[in-house]
Amino acid sequence: MNKRQFLKGLILFFPAGGLTGVLASPVRGKETSGADKGTEASGAKTTQPQSTGAYDPERHNYGMGIEIDKCIGCSRCVEACKAENNVPQEPFFFRTWIERYVITKDREVTVESINVKSRGTRELAQDDREILRSFFVPKLCNQCAHPPCVQVCPVGATFSTKDGVVLVDANRCIGCRYCVQACPYAARYLHPETKTADKCTFCYHRVVKGLLPACVEVCPTQARVFGDLKSKASRLVRLMRMNKIHVLKPSLNTDPKVYYAQLDGEVR
């Protein structure tokens, strides 16, 4: 972009800029006094009472645990996520999805995403005799402590919150999609309506109010465990105490905060 375009953009943006300035200043005042009130979009009402006392993001660090051996691949989580977060229904946009791994006796690994049924793909071989092992793996944004997407965003529209969640500012994302390229887990997609990058937020609007993320709420077998890593006794900390834990693609040094128990080495 050259200078001329920059100035042109400014001329368009100035009236709007002043307006946001006015809007943003009261927001700044409330920043410390409790983050659970929406100043904008007043149409949204919450069913939960305001959580007690001020919410201090510094005192939390959220993560998720996933017990592979408990996942039955029912996709309740995927549907709940799409409903809760306005994710388009088409099978190209997911904040979370389920993979099925089938490893046959000749060590051939077949993977499919059970939420994507394309007309072309054949049903997986269901001959039980040939299966060495098979299991489901839920996937979602790993909310990395060292996130490559945040590193590459040219305008700083994606960032880590103090409580350890990576968010996207949909008002400032320019749609360059460098973050989509940089994410090793393909957890990001371009939302076809907002035309901005979108991804799992751990249902930030729920967890700050004391609710569970939608996927964890509906999981029938408690294969998904949500919790606070800073808490001494959370279900997540308990899970990590009782299991050998693995994360996805540890060699990339992203420090994921989605922890898998009983994860198979074939899972990438």
Site for another protein in 36-75 (CB under 8 A): 36-48, 69-75
Token pair 């307006």: residue: 19
Token pair 């729920």: residue: 206
Residue ranges of alpha helices (H) inside 122-185 are 148-152, 178-182
* Smallest separation, CB 215 to another protein (Å): 10
Residues 226-246: b if buried by 16+ CB within 10 A, e if exposed: bbbbeeeebbbbebbeebeeb
* Smallest separation, CB 147 to another protein (Å): 11
Pick the closer one to another protein by CB: 6 or 241: 6
Choices 58-66, 109-117, 225-233, 234-242 (CB under 8 A): range interacting with another protein: 109-117
- Backbone phi, psi, residue 92, to 5°: -120, 0
The Cα–Cα gap between 6 and 189 comes to 27
The closest of 156, 90, 139, 135 to 262, measured between CA atoms, is 135
What residues between 181 and 220 interact with another protein by CB under 8 A? Answer: 181-190, 192-193, 195-196, 201, 204-206, 208-209, 211-212, 214, 217-220
Q: Residue 242 interacts with another protein (CB under 8 A)?
A: no
Choices 58-66, 156-164, 225-233, 237-245 (CB under 8 A): range interacting with another protein: 156-164
Amino acid at 140: L
Pick the closer one to another protein by CB: 73 or 229: 73
Amino acid at 116: V
Partners of 65 in beta bridges? 225, 259
* Smallest separation, CB 145 to another protein (Å): 15
* Smallest separation, CB 189 to another protein (Å): 4
Partners of 227 in beta bridges? 63
Site string for another protein, 165-184 (x = CB under 8 A): --xxxxxxxxxxxx-xxxxx
Choices 58-66, 90-98, 225-233, 234-242 (CB under 8 A): range interacting with another protein: 90-98
Residue ranges of alpha helices (H) inside 31-110 are 76-85
The Cα–Cα gap between 216 and 13 comes to 41
Choices 58-66, 148-156, 229-237, 238-246 (CB under 8 A): range interacting with another protein: 148-156
The Cα–Cα gap between 63 and 60 comes to 10
* Pair 207, 213: CB distance under 8 Å: yes
Q: What is the DSSP letter of 44?
A: -
Pick the closer one to another protein by CB: 112 or 230: 112
* Smallest separation, CB 237 to another protein (Å): 19
Q: Residue 76 interacts with another protein (CB under 8 A)?
A: yes
* Smallest separation, CB 141 to another protein (Å): 10
Q: Residue 264 interacts with another protein (CB under 8 A)?
A: no
What residues between 219 and 238 interact with another protein by CB under 8 A? Answer: 219-222
